[in-house]
Amino acid sequence: MVSQEQLASQLEQLPNWRGISFKGNVTANLERILDEDETVEDLVEGFWRGVRLSGTGSGVAGILCYTSRRALFVSNASASAQPEELAYVDLLSVHTKSGISSTKIYLEHSSGTCTLSTTLTEGQSRAFTDGLNRRRLEPLGDSDAVGVDGGMSSGAGVSDGAPNRTPAASSGSDEVRDRSETEDGADLQTGAGRSRLQNLNRQHLAARDIFITINNFKQKTAEPGFFQALMGDLFRLADMCIGDRDEVPEPARLFVTVVVLPMRQSLTDDRNLIIDLFKYDDLSYRQANMILRHWDYVRNELRKYRPSSKDEALRSLDYLREYDEREDTDYFDEVSGALYRFCDHVLKNSGMHTQLRKKRLARVHKLIYGENAESAAESETDTSVRVAKDDDETLEEVMEEINGLIGMRNVKQQIDTFVNLLTIHREREKRELPVTPFSMHAVFYGPPGTGKTTIARYLGRVYKCLGLLEKGHMVETDRAGLVAGYVGQTAIKVEEIVQQALDGVLFIDEAYTLNPRTGDKDFGQEVIDTLLKRMEDYRERLVVIAAGYPDEMNEFIDSNPGLKSRFSRYFYFEHYTPKELMQIFDLFVDGASFTLTRTARKAVLDLITELYEERGRSFGNGRMVRNLFENIIERQANRITRITPLTDEVLCSITKRDIPKSGDFSG
């Protein structure tokens, strides 16, 4: 985060800053958003209509700025407004157009067109866009030079007629193509941009394999409508995987679009895009961005294939079952495998929580293979669930699950660093090299409902995978589980809990209550004294994690030198954002086989956002979402109880009427 002094100094030097309204809100937002070494280079005030933020009427009032790293729009109506970020790698072009009463700045983005209407003169606006264009087109240094299509420049030529190629900066006719495709400078980006393109090209190759497998069935069967049914089933499965998620990550968007566009060529008027789609193994920045710009059309096409009933079978696979039996072929296995791989790939790139992804993949499997069918894919899914209790669980599997959790970005980074430290520590021990002693005990501090207990369980499994704990299980307790009602009994109670936790993790929630400011201190102190002794006695068999509110936990640890010396690692759990809370809500909805109407989904997100912005010390985060879900289900039950007939659609649908107002829900 940039410091207030640095930001104020930057802004005061910008000519347009003097005319900006609500400077306090703008400054507070930028201070919260900008990275420490990020500088604001220019800004302009106006009304914004973007990809994500559009508002009503003239648009959203605020400022558009560009920095040393990105372009940003921030509303000036609130000091905590959510920004719209435009990565330079996604900006195709920037230009201005003068009107009668205002000037419009157009930003052509990979996801659509953004506009800012400003009262600045055309010359002032053009000065801003010229600076923004210079920034986004700025090439890298020679050491980081990116070859055409995002590859590293190799100087290798490409033989004529080769269907695939390794791009090069000096390859004859290819150079002409590359320059025309990169005239906007989109491929001259940072290492992050290069990584982005490499990821998109992986999606492109995977999509090509799926498309080729499915397209091969155009002429394999005699029924004229079979291929149309197959395309319809593919589109239905894609929609089933993505659902009504507001934001679909870029890799998933590109993968689905590349598969769908050749089958629905009416979705684009760019015939060259279709022709070149599989001409090369790799895409240029321009091609990738042009493909992504078709996502909205593809998304609408997918929605057309939603079935009237959840139990509606896949027509193409029903046909192939009969065809295989009649003609002694094995087409079903080939097509069903391709459809399953397609769904698996979409879900892996969907950005969903791991458990939600597994549930949706299980539904896909059931739809494709039936209730009792078994396949390699199903066995693989079952193994990934079973492995949590398997002695053969690997560190990579545990870390994948941790990284699949919603939110907790800083905690994940801390765990990753901790795991690296532990790994090197163990390796040095194996080689009998000197090691620096360190404590495995930890303090988890943060508001309630932010995943502290969940992470404690995972940490136990991490310790087990590293060979630091034999079992890695977790025993959870609190003051009530440790303090007895009589002098002398508390130590016995603590000993019992410790014995249960040996070779694993002892998680103490609200640990600060063991040392209250007022009331009965003796029993709590007895717990602390006994626990400190057992932590020393079993220093290689017991990990203690103490959790609670930040201020109270700091005071608790500082109150006893023994605690301070043993707890040297701290993990801070932040509040979930409204977007992350909505993802948690999706888990509850999907796990109970409910569906949200579009208006209901917006109402839930609006309510969650309102509760988040008004949050106090006891804001429940994940627990609040669970309570909200249960409240909504109760309201839905009251609404539909007199409806006849009670169809599956009625039973599983949540409408806007089921969503409480903020005044009717306490959280």
Q: Percent of the chain beyond pLDDT 70? A: 83
- Please report the pLDDT score of residue 508 as a whole number: 94
- On whether the CB atoms of residues 556 and 514 are closer than 8 A, the answer is yes
Which pLDDT score is estimated for 564?
Answer: 85
C-beta separation of 233 from 315 below 8 A? yes
> Of 32, 9, 53, which is closest to residue 64 (Cα–Cα)?
53
In order of 53, 260, 593, 629, the CA distances from 363 in angstroms are 34, 22, 10, 22
End-to-end CA separation in angstroms for the chain: 31
- Do you find a cis peptide bond into 645, omega within 30 degrees of 0? yes
Judged against a pLDDT cut of 80, whether residue 34 lies above it is answered with yes
Residue 385: what pLDDT?
A: 28
Closest CA to 364 of 215, 550, 516, 240: 240
> Is pLDDT at 487 greater than 90 in this prediction?
no
Return the minimum-mean-pLDDT range out of 190-194, 202-206, 483-487, 544-548: 190-194
Please tell me the predicted confidence (pLDDT) of residue 152: 29
Q: What is the CATH code for 4-136?
A: 2.30.29.30
pLDDT in tens, 131-163: 898 887 765 333 333 332 333 223 333 233 333
Indicate where the chain has its CATH 2.30.29.30 domain(s).
Answer: 4-136
pLDDT reported for residue 175: 34
At CA 341, angle to CA 335 and CA 342, rounded to 5? 90
Write down the pLDDT at residue 157.
Answer: 31
Tokens of 36: 């420490």
Q: Which tokens sit at 544? A: 């203690």
Residue 331 has pLDDT above 60, yes or no: yes
Mean pLDDT on 283-305 = 84
> Per-residue pLDDT for 84 more than 50?
yes
CA 388 to the chain's CA centroid: 22
Radius of gyration for the alpha carbons in the chain, expressed in angstroms and rounded: 29
What is the C-alpha separation between 585 and 625, in angstroms, rounded?
A: 6
Separation CA 570–CA 547 (nearest Å): 10
Question: What phi and psi values does residue 299 have, to the nearest 5 degrees?
Answer: -60, -45
What is 395-572's CATH number, 3.40.50.300, 3.90.1150.140, 3.40.640.10, 3.40.1160.10? 3.40.50.300
How far apart CA 591 and CA 360 sit, in angstroms, is 9
Q: What is the per-residue pLDDT across 39-71, written as a single tens digit (0 to 9) for each?
A: 899 999 988 988 888 776 678 889 999 998 889
From-to residues of CATH 3.40.50.300 in the chain: 395-572
What's the whole-number average pLDDT of the chain? 79
Residue 646 pLDDT > 70: yes
Mean pLDDT, residues 19-44 taken together? 87
Stretch(es) of the chain classified as CATH 1.10.8.60? 578-664
Q: pLDDT tens digit string along 615-644?
A: 888 788 988 999 999 999 999 999 998 888
pLDDT band at 311 (very low <50, low <70, confident <90, very high): low
pLDDT band at 667 (very low <50, low <70, confident <90, very high): low
Question: How high is the pLDDT of residue 42?
Answer: 92
E strand or H helix that includes residue 650: helix 648-652
What does the block give as tokens for 176? 């002409």
Q: Of 446 and 148, which is predicted with more confidence?
A: 446
Residue 515 pLDDT grade (very low, low, confident, very high; cuts 50, 70, 90): confident
pLDDT at 33 over 80: yes
Which amino acid is it at 563? Answer: L
Question: What whole-number distance in Å separates Cα of residue 73 and Cα of residue 63?
Answer: 6
Q: How far apart are CA 649 and CA 644, in angstroms?
A: 12
Residue 176 has pLDDT above 80, yes or no: no
Lowest mean pLDDT, pick from 233-242, 309-318, 370-379, 585-594: 370-379
pTM attached to this predicted model: 0.50
Choosing among 3.20.20.30, 3.30.429.10, 2.30.40.10, 1.10.8.60, the CATH entry for 578-664 is 1.10.8.60
Residue pLDDT, tens place only, 563-580: 888 888 899 999 999 999
Residue 504 confidence (pLDDT): 93
Tell me the CB-side half-sphere exposure of residue 553, using CA atoms within 13 A.
23
pLDDT in tens, 332-358: 888 888 898 899 888 888 877 777 778
Residue 650: pLDDT over 80: yes
pLDDT for position 163: 34
Q: What is the pLDDT of residues 367-413, one digit of tens each?
A: 888 864 443 333 333 322 223 344 567 888 888 888 888 888 889 98
Tell me the C-alpha to C-alpha distance, in Å, between residue 4 and each of 30, 31, 39, 91. Answer: 9, 6, 12, 29
CB neighbours (10 Å) of residue 286?
A: 19
Residue by residue, DSSP assigns 440-498 as --EEEESSTTSSHHHHHHHHHHHHHHTTS-SS--EEEE-HHHH--SSTTHHHHHHHHHH
Nearest Cα residue to 654 out of 596, 592, 582, 574: 596
Task: Enumerate the β-bridge partners of residue 161.
Answer: none
pLDDT tens, position by position, 99-125 = 766 788 999 887 778 899 888 888 888
Q: Are 482 and 497 in contact (CB under 8 A)?
A: yes
